[in-house]
Every structure is written in structure tokens, then in C-alpha cells.
Amino acid sequence: RLQIEYLLSATALSQHKQSDGSDVVWGLTQTPKTIPPRYFYDDPGSQLFEQICELPEYYLTRTEGAILQGCAAEIARLTGACEIVELGSGSSTKTRILLDAYNKLGYPLGYVPIDVSAGILESSARELLADYPSLVVRALVSTYELALERLEASRLATRMICFLGSTLGNLNREECDRFLSQIADALNVGEYFLLGVDLQKSEYLLNAAYNDSQGVTAAFNLNMLEHLNWRFDGNFDKAQFEHWAFYNKSQSQIEMHLRSVRSQTVQLRALDLTVEFEKGETIFTEISRKFDLNSIQKELQGHDLVPLQVWTDPNQWFGVLLCQM
């Protein structure tokens, strides 16, 4: 009942622009320097992210989970039996809420988890299979882009693509637009898109969520450098960088950076890349956009993803939207 396809395996690596490190070379030679946020998620990074989800300051996961608990039965009723495709599935914790709802209605369970972190994908798939005896899992170790291309033709049932946790916020406006077009391309008319987005709120709460008192978010940010070290034979010293995150109010987004504490030179030998840092220079590692429910619905509609139902929590901190193509 388990099939795993590796679109990021060593052999696939050389064939795909997105995993051969050309994005890292590009980002580290820009001003300001950037690294795409998917490099957070090697196996240790995915574990740190799981820890973030438990932090008292990080309200996102908890709030979305509570919303899903309240609306999963209604989602299952609205969509009927379907194949659940999840982009950035991670530990699949929230997916269980959906699987339970479909299970209760007696629907066959098909799940397609997609993640760049093979370790967490394999272990969570095994745990799910043990807990859901009728579940069929077809996992993809892949970036979203490659997976969405791969998905297009075959499907087990009506498809619902889930993109939870406000990962959409990691994409800038242009990337978001392209991404939603890819989602629409991967769906047939009548199929579904389930989206979770973090909403605009007090600056104080947002800053706290990305600067937790235990320093887990800092460790998560700095882990990206270790990931680059092993993947591209680099010599980043993470003690020479520091975590820096703040809410950019005019852009309605959290920005995360790594700041070089001194002038230094770093090499990524597998990429044939030498990078010079000035003291105080930063690497932009993530944007986390905070959405407005009206504007995101218009944007979805612009891609023929029609919002059927929107759920939120009593504080209106987080939104879950079920859309139909």
C-alpha cells in the first residue's frame, strides 16, 4: 500500500534545475543574497520545524489544527470521496484530521504526500499506513513544481490538493501567481484545492511567533547553512551568523534573514562557489506573507479556483479555504 517515488534522488538531481544547486548559486550572487526557503527542510530542519509547531508563540499550526477539527466533516461531505494530495506534507499530523473525516463517511482513502524531506515523508507514511488499514499512499520526494508536473495525468479518484500551514506565504506575489496556475493545471474541472493561510494581525504577535524565547526558530534558520554544507560540500560556520526576523508592515510579511557577524569568506566546493560576506551583511532566507481573506479569495478566483467555503478561528488569526475548479 506504499509507493515512494524519488524525484530528487541522486540521478534525478542532475536533470532538474531546481535541485542541482543553480538556485543557490544564483541566490548567493545576488544583492542582497538570498537562499530559497525549501533549503530549510533537510531531515534535521524538518524536525526543527516540528518543534516550532509546538512552541507557545507559534500559534499557526495549533490554530489551523483547531479549524480543521471543526470543518473536516463538512469538507468531506462537500467533496465526496477523493484522492488527497498534500504539498509539503511534513509529519502529516493535520492530514489525519482529514483522513478521519473521509474514513467516517466510508470513503476509500488515497493519499499522495509530497515533500522535499525524504526521511520525514517515509516515516510519516509508515505511521499512517499502520493506523489506517485501508489507506493507499503514493509518496513523492519532490519540490512542488516537479510534483505538480508529475501529477497531471493519473488520479485514483476526484483530486483534492491540500496546501496547509500557510506555506503559500513563502512565495512572493509573482511566484504565488505562477504556483496557483500550476495548481489549476493539475486539477480537472470540479476538483478541489484546500488552502490554509495565516492572516494579518498584530505586529506584536507576529514578531513573537518568529522570535521565540527558546531560540528554536533561530536554530531552524541557521540549520539552513549546515544543510548547504552537506549538500554542496560547504564550510559555513553557523556560529558566525545570527538569526534576524521582523514583520515588514508595509508588505504584510515576516522577513527572515541570516546576518554575518563578521566579514568572512565561505566556499561551496560542489558548486565551485566562493562567497564573500561583509560584517553585518545578510542572507534573505524567507518571506512569510500574512494574508487578507478578501484579497486571497479574489486571487484564487482569478485562477478559476472558486472558494466554496471559508473557515476561520474566533480570533481570525488563520483561514482555511476550500476551492473548486
Residues that bind ligand AVJ (CB under 6 A): 52, 60, 165-167, 169-170, 210, 217, 286, 288
Pair 290, 254: CB distance under 8 Å: yes
For the record, the C-alpha cell of 139 comes out as 509518496
Of the two residues 84 and 218, which places its CB atom closer to ligand AVJ in the complex? 218
Residue 188 Cβ vs ligand AVJ, minimum distance, rounded to whole Å: 28
Of the two residues 60 and 325, which places its CB atom closer to ligand AVJ in the complex? 60
Of the two residues 79 and 170, which places its CB atom closer to ligand AVJ in the complex? 170
Residue 217 Cβ vs ligand AVJ, minimum distance, rounded to whole Å: 5
Of the two residues 132 and 210, which places its CB atom closer to ligand AVJ in the complex? 210
Residue 54 Cβ vs ligand AVJ, minimum distance, rounded to whole Å: 12
Residue 160 Cβ vs ligand AVJ, minimum distance, rounded to whole Å: 20
Of the two residues 143 and 167, which places its CB atom closer to ligand AVJ in the complex? 167
Give me the amino acid identity at 139. Answer: A
Residue 302 CA to its chain's centroid (Å): 22
* Alpha-carbon separation of residue 300 from 106, 170, 179, 193, 210 (angstroms): 30, 16, 11, 10, 27
Indicate the residue whose CB is closest to ligand AVJ.
288
* Alpha-carbon separation of residue 130 from 6, 82, 107, 127, 134 (angstroms): 22, 20, 18, 5, 10
Of the two residues 59 and 311, which places its CB atom closer to ligand AVJ in the complex? 59
Of the two residues 91 and 167, which places its CB atom closer to ligand AVJ in the complex? 167
Residue 58 Cβ vs ligand AVJ, minimum distance, rounded to whole Å: 7
DSSP state of 291: B
> Would you call 80 helix, strand, or coil by DSSP?
coil
> Would you call 258 helix, strand, or coil by DSSP?
strand
Can you give the length of the chain in residues? 325
Residue 155 Cβ vs ligand AVJ, minimum distance, rounded to whole Å: 26
282 bridge partner residues: 259
Residue 49 Cβ vs ligand AVJ, minimum distance, rounded to whole Å: 6
Rounded CA-CA distance 1/40 in Å is 30
264 bridge partner residues: 277
Gyration radius from the chain CA atoms: 20
